[in-house]
Structure 1
Amino acid sequence: MIPKIALCSQTLRSNSGFSRYFKLLQRPWTHHPALPAASRGIHVDSPPIIPSLITSYAHGTSTTSLLHSTVGDSLLRTVERFPDREAVAFLQDGVRKTFAQLQKDVDQAAAGLLALGLQKGDRLGMWGPNTYEWILFQFATARAGIILVSVNPAYQLKEVEFTLRKVGCKAIVCPTEFRTQKYCDMLRQICPEIETSTPGDIRSARLPDLRSVIVVGSRQPGMFLLEDVMQAGSSQYMQQLQDLQRKLSFDDPINIQFTSGTTGAPKGATLSHHNIVNNAYSVGKRVGYTWRPHTRICLPVPLYHCFGSVGGGICMAVHGVSVVFPSAGYDGKANLAAMESER
């Protein structure tokens, strides 16, 4: 049987205006319908024989230009404008940082990640509640071109193993524990090899890409402490970090968000600098960050979710707003107290 598209070409070929068009339609597969669909160039559910990636933008008519900035550049510009303005306040931990202080910590952490052997395009999982370290590594990974993988702090063994393996995380940052979650214990159950490993040289059968675990809290066998990473960022790696900035593009992937997994296994959605910077920019324009002289935000939602990471951290970097975190996990009374004391 002749494929329908070939029949159409025979019917309309008499119109010379279509001749060039039909040359494009006449492919070998039109004459060999018995060939597998993928071989004939037809888009099917299975992956194509020769995969291709095409960068494209879909947009509507607007007079508002999008920002062509990386996350790191956005933060740097705000640091130049408001170096002494408070950037974040984590009330439960008593941590407050100005934009200048945050930037200094971010570069130190980014250089430390490079010292650990992480490279542009590697994936680092952030697994934990709302703490300063979450914001720190959100921007340190962006500065180093490392893709931050947002891991739900409530994940249990099977969920975290699936997530880390799915995207090939080379490193993960977590607290030793939070509430009922024993993060380090769970990692040891998944990767018993950690106990006898040298930090930075984990070789796990179940997580073959994982090399480093960075712990916030007490020192654990086979794992780096956060302080180790910060101290590893020597002048050599600081220079490497500065040189790397020329190689970063706002089209680079920078964050992987996982879907809820309600109807199946969670799926990773990859976001670029361009995605999240303009998301935050648009949010700020809508709610008035662009015209108010200074806005302070109370952020009780989790940072692992786009609402928290973009509406909090990235809005802070793009618009220069101050973000107040009432507690590490949701606490209604702490939210009200924060709004009263920090407004």
Structure 2
Amino acid sequence: MALNKPAADVWTLLAEWGEQTPDAPALLHGELSITFGELAERSLRVAQGLADLGVGAGDRVALWLPNVPAYLLLYFACARLGAIAVAVNTRYRAVEVADIVGRSGAKVLACAPGFRHIDFLSILAEVEPQALDSLTAIVIVGDEPATPPPAIQAVRRVPFDRLLTRPRCSTNNATARAACNIFTTSGTTSLPKFVAHRQGAIASHAQQVAKAFGFAANDTLTLSILPLCGVFGFNQTLATLAAGRPCVLVESYEIEQIARLIEHHRPTTLFGSDDMFARLLDLIPDNRPFPSVRWAGYAGFNTSLESIAERAEQRGLILRGLYGMSEVQALYAIQPVDAPVERRKKGGGIPTSPLAHVRVRDPETGTLLGVGQPGMLECAGPSLMVSYWGNEDATATAMTPDGYVRTGDLAALDGHGGFTFLSRMGDVLRLSGFLVNPLEIETHIQKLAGIEGCQTIAVARPDGVRAVSFVTLAPGQAFDESAVIDHCRHGLANYKVPLRVFTIDAFPTTPSANGFKIQRTKLRERAEELLRSSC
């Protein structure tokens, strides 16, 4: 079987299943079912369509799409051409899209104007024209508005369905060393870094995850709930396909819709965040709400929801903590399914690949630490990124001389061959399942006249984790909270928009070896107090 034969590249990963089990279902989306044979065939046609638009080896194709079949068809087409798929979050707005498309130099941008009533084309019309200089075409998935915004009428627009009418692409530039993915990740500045992966790393990790997670079982079916534009959703989906098994593409993150799809499709494995599972358990009152699910992988991003694993256990749902990041790919490690819940609920686990290695280092002294000693987590293995695309300095800073990536996470070795994730060493937020550098929000807010300083923290709310910002004002300046929030809505993704913005005379600080450090815990406590009082 193809699972037992390593695939050298991403295209081979798909093509082997397309040849061996052409009639087996690969993607389920609404009433649509696409087999592995159809997935490979259509991807070849889309590849020729992209080639007609001038896309070749090394070119970038930005995928600003939800979890729909076109995303994966375009992705595998890029792999065939040796092109690089650049992931763009559907919630991104003008400021973020301009940065990603402009810096990546994308030649083609694919978007779905009708998705969830988001006017993608109007958002593009707000982008500075020079950011779109590299684009030769915009591929439209679904219906295009009758009158596109004037600002983009000069850019060629091609219906995705037209790509499917092209002949099969005879060119094959897929190789193990060819770059194929760029994911964005939070960094130490307001601009996200571009994490680049090669086809060999993507394909081998997908196969290793499929093997380690038992996806080869005949009844395996997973739900692709998490966005394909992030490594968590992408790696889960690709690992399912690497096992020759089907996955259900879920377009929206609406809990009621997810619950209906679980009941209808009866998946064997689920992946999501802690707050997603908490909300599902709240929604479904049954004693065993997910009888088909053998186990579920989750990332515990919010300490206030730490008890979710125990709650799930009482209702027949086994949750297993995971670990991953863009630099090492998601599903890099997982807690054993037979471990007690006290261990299994923690982030981290045993590396998925037998060739992966982890170690923990004292960030101040550089000393390698032993079991149970918290420090900076460093990871190595075949799933590592090749570089931060276009940023050699950042790559050199992140990688150790012997091939480990410095994760920026606090962790401790667990004595079982794995590790326990403790927290982010920096102040990165987790909002709607995505890592967000608070500096992105703070920098945007501080563009407003009269605001001198800004700090942003995350607070768990009934509808999920939300950002809350605190600002200091210049002397004599008035404060208009609604104007600040409107400013954020205009330039940032919805999930980055603060729930509230409060003024503060001075940020709470504490002395440290490197100066004064802002006490973000106190800001979070203050935010929770203010939110309670405003209810």
Q: If the length of structure 1 is used for normalisation, what is the TM-score?
A: 0.69
Query: In the alignment, residue 328 of structure 1 is paired with which amino acid?
Result: E
Are 1:210 and 2:147 an aligned pair? Answer: no
Match of 2:244 among 302, 314, 320: 320
Equivalent residue number for residue 317 of structure 2: none
Deviation (angstroms), 1:317: 3.3
Equivalent residue number for residue 445 of structure 2: none
The residue correspondences of 1:119-130 to structure 2 (distance < 5 A) are 119-130=56-67
Please give the secondary structure, in 2, of the residue aligned with 1:298. Answer: strand
Equivalent residue number for residue 203 of structure 2: 277
Are 1:224 and 2:182 an aligned pair? Answer: no
* Alignment: residue pair count: 254
The residue correspondences of 1:1-343 to structure 2 (distance < 5 A) are 67-91=6-30, 94-179=31-116, 181-190=118-127, 204-219=129-144, 220=148, 221=153, 222-231=156-165, 233-234=166-167, 238=168, 241-242=169-170, 244-245=171-172, 247-260=173-186, 264-290=190-216, 292-312=217-237, 314-325=238-249, 327-343=250-266
CA distance in 2, matches of 1:149, 1:270: 9
Deviation (angstroms), 1:230: 2.4
CA contact (8 A) 2:18 2:38 kept: no
- Whose relative contact order is higher, 1 or 2, with alpha carbons under 8 Å and at least 6 apart? 1
Query: In the alignment, residue 279 of structure 1 is paired with which amino acid?
Result: H
Query: In the alignment, residue 79 of structure 1 is paired with which amino acid?
Result: G
Long gaps (5+) in structure 1: 1-64, 192-203
Structure of higher CA gyration radius: 1
Query: In the alignment, residue 209 of structure 1 is paired with which amino acid?
Result: S
CA contact (8 A) 2:10 2:174 kept: no
CA contact (8 A) 1:66 1:278 kept: no
Query: In the alignment, residue 229 of structure 1 is paired with which amino acid?
Result: L
CA distance in 2, matches of 1:206, 1:336: 40
CA distance in 1, matches of 2:23, 2:174: 27
Q: If the length of structure 2 is used for normalisation, what is the TM-score?
A: 0.45
Please give the per-residue CA displacement for 1:202-248, whole angstroms capped at 9, x wherever unaligned: xx5332211110111234544111123223x23xxx3xx32x32x43
Please give the per-residue CA displacement for 1:113-159, whole angstroms capped at 9, x wherever unaligned: 11111111100000021111111111111112111000011111010
CA distance in 2, matches of 1:264, 1:206: 17
CA distance in 1, matches of 2:194, 2:81: 21
Please give the per-residue CA displacement for 1:251-284, whole angstroms capped at 9, x wherever unaligned: 1100100003585311000011111112212211
CA distance in 1, matches of 2:188, 2:116: 24
CA contact (8 A) 2:79 2:174 kept: no
CA distance in 2, matches of 1:132, 1:142: 16
Equivalent residue number for residue 48 of structure 1: none
Deviation (angstroms), 1:333: 2.1
Query: In the alignment, residue 250 of structure 1 is paired with which amino acid?
Result: A
Deviation (angstroms), 1:308: 1.3
CA distance in 2, matches of 1:106, 1:89: 16
Query: In the alignment, residue 82 of structure 1 is paired with which amino acid?
Result: T
**Residues 213, 338 of structure 1: CA spacing in aligned structure 2 closer, same or farther, 3 A cutoff?**
same
CA distance in 1, matches of 2:219, 2:72: 20
